[in-house]
Amino acid sequence: MAASEERLRRWFESVDVNKTGNINAAHLKEALAAGNLHFSDSVVQQMIRMHDADRNGIMSFEEFVVLNRFLSNVQNAYAIMERGSGFLTLSDVYEALLKAGYTLDQPAFYTVCQSFDRTKQGRFRLDDFISLCIFLQSAKNLFTTFDTTKQGRVTLDFNQFVYCAANCRI
């Protein structure tokens, strides 16, 4: 086991208070807070849904490792653009999203930024940026399930739209 995986294992086990090999949303929230990342219950639930491969509503160590990889990628993109200021401006957010693997047109970009800019001042803290990326990754995952031709376009009937709307909430 690599040193980083051993560190993750210890971190995971420190919040797996029941020693079941799985953690629930409250335990994940505690683990993230120990790493100085503070999220609402709904964002933590979205993290679990995003990486819950077996769809059991809890997170195994293996799923936790995948989540950690995602979070590390997003944090790295943020750190490159943050430059010690403690926040990202909107143009920094756009560049950081590109570095994290998300490409949006201007209308989509500004719409999601309005939703995730808690202070409405055009300044994104790390937690805000991670929440935005969680939303985008969840939307991307859901979109991919309907983009069967891999053309970047989908056609939905009403039932599929309802399914999407129910699964895209944060």
Going along the chain from its start, the domains and CATH numbers come out as 3-167 (1.10.238.10)
pLDDT at 162 (0 to 100)? 85
Q: Which residues pair with 124 in a beta bridge?
A: 88
Helix or strand run (H / E) with residue 86: none
Query: Per-residue confidence at 42, pLDDT binned at 50, 70, 90?
Result: confident
Report the C-alpha gap between 132 and 81 in whole angstroms.
Answer: 15
Closest by alpha carbon to 68, among 15, 7, 16, 26? 7
pLDDT at 100 (0 to 100)? 96
- What residue ranges in the chain does DSSP mark as E strands? 22-23, 59-60
Q: Which residues pair with 23 in a beta bridge?
A: 59
Q: Is the pLDDT of residue 12 over 50?
A: yes
Q: What is the pLDDT of residues 49-105, one digit of tens each?
A: 888 888 898 999 999 999 999 999 999 999 999 988 999 999 999 999 999 999 999
Q: Hey, how many other C-beta atoms are within 10 angstroms of the C-beta on 130?
A: 23
pLDDT at 73 (0 to 100)? 95
Q: Is the pLDDT of residue 2 over 70?
A: no
Q: Is the pLDDT of residue 40 over 90?
A: no
